[in-house]
Amino acid sequence: MFRRTTSRDRPTTKRWPVLSGRTATGTVPGCELPFSEPHLKARRARSREPNTLGGMNFSAALELLRSGRRVARRSWIQPGKYVYLEPESVCVSPDGRTRRLAAHLRFVTADGTVQAGVQPSHAGLLADDWYSVDEAGDRAGNEAGGGGGS
Q: How would you write 32-54 as a 3-class SS string?
A: CCCCCHHHHHHHHHHHHCCCCCC
Q: Flag whether 20 is in a domain.
A: no
Look at residue 2 and tell me if it is in a domain.
no
44 occurs within a structural domain: no
Number of domains observed in the structure of the chain: 1
In a domain, 6, yes or no: no
Q: Is residue 33 part of a domain?
A: no
Q: Please name the helix (run of DSSP H) or strand (run of DSSP E) that holds residue 72, with its range, or none.
A: strand 71-73
- Please choose, from the candidates 10, 9, 27, the residue with its C-alpha nearest in 3D space to the C-alpha of residue 18: 27
Range of the domain at 122: 55-143
Whether the pTM exceeds 0.85: the reply is no
pLDDT of the chain along its 150 residues, tens only?
556 666 566 555 555 555 544 444 444 445 545 555 665 566 555 555 444 446 899 999 999 999 999 999 999 988 899 999 999 999 999 999 999 999 999 999 999 999 998 899 999 999 999 999 988 766 665 554 444 443
